[in-house]
Structure 1
């Protein structure tokens, strides 16, 4: 058990709040003004963790706080020997299935070799043969137009392994996918080269709050944010007005750029997966030690 003095955990809290404030300030300003951003809003609209939740600092299971910690008023905390820490027994009682699911999914994903031949075609399949008014980001034009976009899909083998991307394929695009991932087969299909699997590390981390540390959650958030930028730069939309130069995956040069970045993200994702696995094991070990 790591024990933090009040000055220590207050310093960590302040550092975390500053980190989150820097990461969320632009989104909060846009939200106040009623403006949308097709790239940067994704982590706040697709995922369920709100900026205010992200801003709360949590030490994670296995760390206790001395002094007047506000955490005692928060769910899944308790006092033990005069120190405040995560109540892992209560957490596991409420979310034990989630801990076990996340550990299995993340560990099975980490055990597989990455596949790097998808070229981000999932975003193209989401607009395949759609009227512009039906396109998700309809305020932004398709870089190659609808016919050109459709031609890219038709000239490639689409092989999306991520169910939560595949489920947004248009009806005409779904049969073109070489794979048929489902929610039930998620753990059997996910692989570390997938950009969406990398972004989802943020989802799995925040679902384990407060039993995982806020440092891990934010490291996953920052990776997801960078991945999202590549995801949309390689998408069919023309976002140059927002400062996003396209990665033209319809060309050999664009494919090479995409794969190089994809491999780098997979390496960073591997480190975070290992940390998530360790965090899950620590939660379950802490519960065993308390019995």
Structure 2
């Protein structure tokens, strides 16, 4: 019996129905406001990122899947057969780990390795959120991404501040959005190919990306874990933008003034908290990923 078989459990219809309802209720607190803003054509400089950069639809986030450890009992469970990753087994309906396509299995292998390395690498807490500043460095007002919101400094003063700081961004998907002149100011020069060599759990964006790694392997990742990763990413995004050069105080996000010693201390405290919160989520993703990679046949045996 492999590790997946050993951990299988049967969920009665009332139990998994309750889990599904609780998940949807939790997630709608995030998705309903986003969809209402979208319907009004209203942009949000903090929360839109979670639905636009991370390309996982609000409707998909609301959808509940049990993960690869459960057999769903009851007649209603057959509705899950609309997704090709499910099949009928003795006792109900379950995910078929063998349905994970080769290209997704290859991606999963890469992801598990990335997460293992990130978990082992010592966290770094010296960046102070300067990536957001580097993204607007030497830009004209029209070029600034969230130009509906004012910057807290005039462009020249902002540029002088950036130039005086030791920028050490380790996250490629933040670094690639630096303005061209800002990229040369970064102590590190990460690339897509060497992501695994740089990623570390002190990085806000590395911890936000746990949400990405979770949803990329839906429906094989339990929806509650995806929601947990989203909740962490949402909290991080708020701090990320509060530490940015934008003035979002009128929107309810007072600045973390990283240009001051007090602001840098506050930012680092948040970094350390997020690094600690990320570890159990990362560990769960590693365990589930490893089990999926070990599964070469459907479990339990199909009918």
TM-score, shorter chain, exceeding 0.5: yes
Match of 1:65 in 2: 72
Q: CA RMSD in A?
A: 1.3
Q: Of residues 109, 113, 117 in structure 2, which corresponds to 1:100? A: 109
Once the two structures are superposed, the pairs formed by residues 158-177 of structure 1 within 5 Å of their partners are 158-177=167-186
C-alpha separation between the residues in 1 aligned to 2:14 and 2:194?
47
TM-score by length of 2: 0.93
Quick check: 1:53 aligned with 2:60? yes
Per-residue deviation, 1:122: 0.4
SS at match of 1:193: coil
Match of 1:39 in 2: 46
Per-residue deviation, 1:287: 3.2
Unaligned runs of 5+ in 1: none
C-alpha separation between the residues in 1 aligned to 2:50 and 2:177?
17
SS at match of 1:287: coil
Per-residue deviation, 1:282: 2.1
C-alpha separation between the residues in 2 aligned to 1:192 and 1:25?
30
SS at match of 1:85: strand
Match of 1:15 in 2: 22
Match of 2:256 in 1: 247
Match of 1:151 in 2: 160
C-alpha separation between the residues in 2 aligned to 1:174 and 1:75?
44
C-alpha separation between the residues in 1 aligned to 2:175 and 2:102?
33
Match of 2:285 in 1: 276
| Stretches (4+) displaced over 6 A | none
Q: Is the 8 A contact 2:243 2:255 kept in 1?
A: yes
SS at match of 1:226: helix
Task: Provide Cα deviations, 1:49-73, integer angstroms capped at 9, x if missing partner.
Answer: 0010011101001211011212111
TM-score by length of 1: 0.97
Per-residue deviation, 1:75: 2.9
Unaligned runs of 5+ in 2: 1-7
Q: Is the 8 A contact 1:76 1:88 kept in 2?
A: yes
SS at match of 2:219: coil
C-alpha separation between the residues in 2 aligned to 1:14 and 1:168?
39
Once the two structures are superposed, the pairs formed by residues 125-204 of structure 1 within 5 Å of their partners are 125-204=134-213
Quick check: 1:212 aligned with 2:224? no
Quick check: 1:81 aligned with 2:90? yes
C-alpha separation between the residues in 1 aligned to 2:284 and 2:27?
20
Q: How many residues align?
A: 291
C-alpha separation between the residues in 2 aligned to 1:197 and 1:172?
24
Match of 1:113 in 2: 122
